[in-house]
Every structure is written in structure tokens, then in C-alpha cells.
Structure 1
Amino acid sequence: MASNTNVSKTKFTLNNGTEMPAIGLGTFRIKTENAIMSTVDSALAAGYRLFDTAAVYGNEFYLKNAFRTLLPKYGLRREDIFVTTKLSPSNHGNRDVTERAYRKSLQNLGLDYVDLYLIHFPGTANTAADDILNVKIRDQTWAGLASLYDEGLIKAIGVSNFTVRHLQQVISATHGVVPAVNQVEWHPYYFQHDLMEYCKRNGIVLQAYCSFGGTSSSNMNLMQDPVVNSIAKKFDVTCAQVLLKWALQQGVAVIPKSTDPQRIKENISLNFTIPNGDIIALNALGERNIKYAWDPSVVA
């Protein structure tokens, strides 16, 4: 990770040399055109340059309108932003299937390419989690993304919600095509040492979602945790800022979601350092092992 006093300028260098901002804006559950427009406006003003979406979020088209309207407002061009989208589990399969889905996302986003394209989940839609067919289809799907990348249609490819086992399988099936990024649930209540070590060894950047725990489902337990609160008070920052900085200091990229302009600004204002003792205290919360999002470990 390239360091910079301004976290909005900090970038991770992916395993193919592509530079990815360490912090971006997540857009999960931002469902309306007006909400996307105002949120992207606030984010660009605050210094965000990475925008994360997915086919299943249903907001790619709204992002197209936001980029077309707002990039000129801030004197920015397409190449000044980093756009991630994800392949729906209903579009897993051979090269033709994945390419159709990818081109549909491009059309929705109004872009010629995306900077990062992820397989959203290791399982395939309408296939039982324990069905071994998931392995075959997942391998096909990853090979399809690799082919699109080889043709220069995507800047980088990766995965989301993959366990070590899933990563090993797709890398082996494609004779060494390693994902650039693995986007997973990652916060002090739930993080996986074995996954972090495997990704570090293999040059895969971990990118966290659910950095604030279960807030998307109105569960505020992590945000209100006494350990998190005490650290926030010590540095006169928000609990959200503590949770994001905790991840970044351990080499994990983040994509916090907010539609509130003040929160959006706070979430990228992370120019403080959490001392090692407080990092240890936050890591100790992992003993709770509380997961808020879907569980990929059950997928064959």
C-alpha cells in the first residue's frame, strides 16, 4: 500500500500493477436516482475516487447518470475514478454468459470498461449450496472473467465472499490466474486470520464490506461497542472512523456506505493512527465471531 498523509490519496497496488484507492464509496441499498446523485456528489467533493456497485444492487444505471453529470462538475475524467461492479450469481457460467452480463453492466454504467470486475459470490443461483456443481460452474465463471481480462476489456478481476478453499479451487482450475481482490465481510467482530495470510502470500488485496457491523440491518452493536467508543473518544473521532482506520492499518481496503454528506466526509477523514495497543484491543473483539452477511463457507 502506498502511504500518504491524505488517506483519500492512498492506493493499493494490485497484483497486475493497477492502482486501487484504499477507500471507496459503497452503494449497496442506495436504490433511487436522486439518492445516488446526491451521494456521489458528496463523495466526489470529499475526495472519493472509487465507487463500488454490483449488478444485483440495481443502481448501475443511476451511477451512469451521476458520473456523466458530476465528473465534469469536479473537472474529472473517466480515468480519474475507479469503478467496481460485480457479476450476479444468476449469470455464472461459460465465457458467453459472463461476457453478456459484463457488457450489460457496462451499458448500464455508460462505461467502456470497469476497473475491477468481481464474481459476487462463490455459489450459483438456483443451485443448492452443497451441490458440487458449484465448483464446476465457479471454475468456468472465473475462466470467463480471465478471458475478458486477457482481451483488455477489464482493468482487473477479482472475487467477493470467497474462502481460502474457493480461492485455491479457481486458481488451480485456471492454472494460476490469481484474483486481484477478494471483497469480504471484515470488521472487529468478524475477521479471518487464515484468509488474510493466504491473500497476503498470494498477492490478493482484501477489501472489507460491513465495516460497521450490522448497521445495514439496524444492528448497532459494533458501532456502540465500549472498546470502539473509548478509542473514538481518545482521538475525538467517530466510531465509524475508528473501524475504518482499524482495517486500513492492517492493509485491508474499505468501501464504507453512507448517504449523509457529513458522514461521507468523516469516513474519508482518517488522518490519525490507532496505537498498537488499541489495535490489539479491537482485534480481541474477534472472539465474538459475529457475522452479519451471507455465509460463503457452506458453498461447495
Structure 2
Amino acid sequence: MSSTHPVLLNTGVQMPILGLGTYKLVGCEEVYQAVDAALVAGYRSFDTAAVYRNEADLSRALKELLPKYGLTREDVFITSKLGPKDQGEKAMEGALCSLSQLDLGYIDLYLIHWPGTQGLDVADKRNPGNRAQSWATLEELHAQGKLKAIGVSNYTPAHMRELMQSCKVPPAVLQVEFHPKLLQTELRKVCEEYGVCFQAYSSLGKGELITDPVVLEIAKNCERTPGQVLLRWAVQQGVPVIPKSSNPERIKDNGRIFDFTLSDADMDKLSALDCGRKYCRDAALVV
């Protein structure tokens, strides 16, 4: 069974709509266990980042587990991200470090993790220049085939428009916080306008949304977990998700989102929860 259900990126590459997020997965053992459970459950996409400090552990796990399940490197889609400390002049060093840590020949999707630069104030006028320099570096590595697709994370509509005006290669993906309490309507319109795939993280609102009364009621009525309902709400709109978990049972549960459909009424009830609530760091302050 495969839960890839791919979405087509503007590079012509297909990305699975479901992936395993690895934020806070620490150490060989925890990463191995999560990757093993995910592969069994049909996941074929794995999302990491330089700041997660688990790229090498993910690589080791995949090298050991892919042959076990008769899979090859080409069967999985790997996303990683440039750390804010490497924004600008250090972007090449940061990206090459990710390539080396992952040691998988190439990275399927590489994102600028954050619009700001570590150590600079959010209002520092050097931030736009650093972003532009990072993007030019990613374009160079994309041209060399080391990064099959490039994109951004946590960009606002203003950051996206700025990038689109200067880039040679448009971003393939924008990865941001997205759930029923944060519909990101303007960002989604910008992505649609520019042909950029809009991808969600924090689909469960850092776990807080699974106790929301509306989510619980819908989950009960369709005999699903609240997590499955929240993930289904996103993928039913064509939005890729990367739920993170270290629990094998939860990883399996989160993968079971393709054998049921939410009614239009339930979709509307969930979307009506929108209140602009952000559970994660807000990039809107970064110039």
C-alpha cells in the first residue's frame, strides 16, 4: 500500500501529498523507529532540516530500511532546509553540509527555512539581501542537479512577491503553518497565482486542535481520529501534509487518510474555525 498520492510540482517532479515530519526526532534509534513505521504505513516522503540536527540519522535509517522493503533511493522524496544561521553568504556551505549529511546523492526539495537571518534583528535591512543571496545559491545547486526542486518556508505574501520579482527559478513549494484555525487565504492565492505548491506543517496545531469540540464531533461522526480528520481536511483541498510523530501507531493512523472523505458540510465547519491563530513562530515581522 502506498500513501504517496502525488502532487505535481512546477519542476515536473511529483511530490507525495503525505510525508513524515521529523522535527524533534532525536537520535539514531528514534529516527530509525519512526522511518521504519512510516515506510510500512506507505509513506514515501520525509521532511527534515539542518536545524533539526537529524539529517545524518535519517540518511542512516533510509540506507538500512529501503533495501529491507525492496525500495530504492528513487522511491522516496527527501526535503531538507537551509538553517537561518546560513542565510546569505554561508548558504552554499549550509546547503552542501545538508547534502553531505544526507549523503543520498541529491535532495528532492530544499527550502530556505526562514526569511530572516539568525543573529540579525527582524527589522534589519540586510535580511532581503541575504534571502536573495541564499536563493541564488539554491538556483545554482538546482542547475547542477543536486537539489531537484527548491522552495521556501515561512514566507509571507510580501516575501513571496519579492522573491518572484528577482528569481530566475521560481520556488516549487511554500511550506507554512496551515490548519482550520489558520486558513492562510492570501498566501494560498499568491501560491496559486505563481504556480507554487502550498504545503502545510503543524496540521494539528501542535496537538491543540485534536481537542477542539468541532474536530472531536466530526471525528466521532465519521469514526476517525481527530488527527485523521485534520489531515484529511488539508489533503482534500490538495494541500500536502507532513505530520510528525515518533509513535509507530500514530504514524500508522496519520497515514490512514485516503480511505474516507469528509462531507462538504464538515469541510465548511472546520474552515469556519479560522481565526488567524498561529501556534508557531510568526515570520510576518521579518522585513
Indicate the TM-score class for this superposition, using the shorter chain for normalisation: over 0.9
How far 1:177 moved relative to its partner?
A: 2.7
Q: Secondary structure at the match of 2:244?
A: coil
Q: Secondary structure at the match of 2:115?
A: coil
One of 173, 193, 198 as aligned partner of 1:206 = 198
Cα distance in 1 for residues equivalent to 2:262 and 2:56: 39
One of 269, 274, 277 as aligned partner of 1:286 = 274
One of 25, 33, 36 as aligned partner of 1:30 = 25
- Aligned residue type for 1:194: E
Q: Secondary structure at the match of 1:85?
A: strand
Cα distance in 1 for residues equivalent to 2:173 and 2:250: 26
**Equivalent runs, 1:229-268 vs 2, <5 Å:** 229-268=216-255
Cα distance in 2 for residues equivalent to 1:142 and 1:209: 22
Please name the residue that 2:262 is paired with. Answer: 274
- Aligned residue type for 1:275: S
Deviates more, 1:123-132 or 1:144-153: 144-153
Cα distance in 1 for residues equivalent to 2:142 and 2:173: 14
How far 1:99 moved relative to its partner?
A: 2.2
Cα distance in 2 for residues equivalent to 1:254 and 1:180: 15
Q: Normalising by the residue count of structure 2, what TM-score does the alignment of the two structures yield?
A: 0.97
Cα distance in 1 for residues equivalent to 2:234 and 2:4: 16
Please name the residue that 1:178 is paired with. Answer: 170
> Unaligned 5+ residue runs, structure 1?
1-5
How far 1:127 moved relative to its partner?
A: 0.8
Q: Does 1:61 align with 2:56?
A: yes
Cα distance in 1 for residues equivalent to 2:98 and 2:270: 38
Q: Does 1:40 align with 2:28?
A: no
Q: Does 1:50 align with 2:45?
A: yes
Contact 1:139 1:169 in 2 (8 A): no
Contact 1:121 1:296 in 2 (8 A): yes
How far 1:70 moved relative to its partner?
A: 0.5
CA displacement, residues 185-211 of structure 1 (integer Å, 9 cap, x when unaligned):
001111210111110121111111111
Please name the residue that 2:181 is paired with. Answer: 189
One of 105, 114, 118 as aligned partner of 1:112 = 105
Cα distance in 1 for residues equivalent to 2:200 and 2:273: 17
Cα distance in 2 for residues equivalent to 1:195 and 1:105: 28
How far 1:290 moved relative to its partner?
A: 1.6
Moved over 2 A (4+): none
How far 1:278 moved relative to its partner?
A: 0.9
One of 150, 159, 165 as aligned partner of 2:158 = 165
**CA 254–7 in structure 1, closer or farther in 2 if over 3 Å, else same:** farther
Cα distance in 2 for residues equivalent to 1:7 and 1:229: 27
How far 1:9 moved relative to its partner?
A: 3.0
How far 1:240 moved relative to its partner?
A: 0.2
Q: Secondary structure at the match of 2:174?
A: strand
Please name the residue that 2:4 is paired with. Answer: 9
Cα distance in 2 for residues equivalent to 1:177 and 1:71: 32
Number of corresponding residues: 286
> Unaligned 5+ residue runs, structure 2?
none
How far 1:7 moved relative to its partner?
A: 7.2
How far 1:232 moved relative to its partner?
A: 0.6
Cα distance in 2 for residues equivalent to 1:7 and 1:198: 31
Deviates more, 1:205-214 or 1:48-57: 205-214
Q: Normalising by the residue count of structure 1, what TM-score does the alignment of the two structures yield?
A: 0.93
Contact 2:3 2:18 in 1 (8 A): yes
Cα distance in 2 for residues equivalent to 1:14 and 1:143: 20
Give me the identity figure in percent. 47
Q: Secondary structure at the match of 1:253?
A: coil
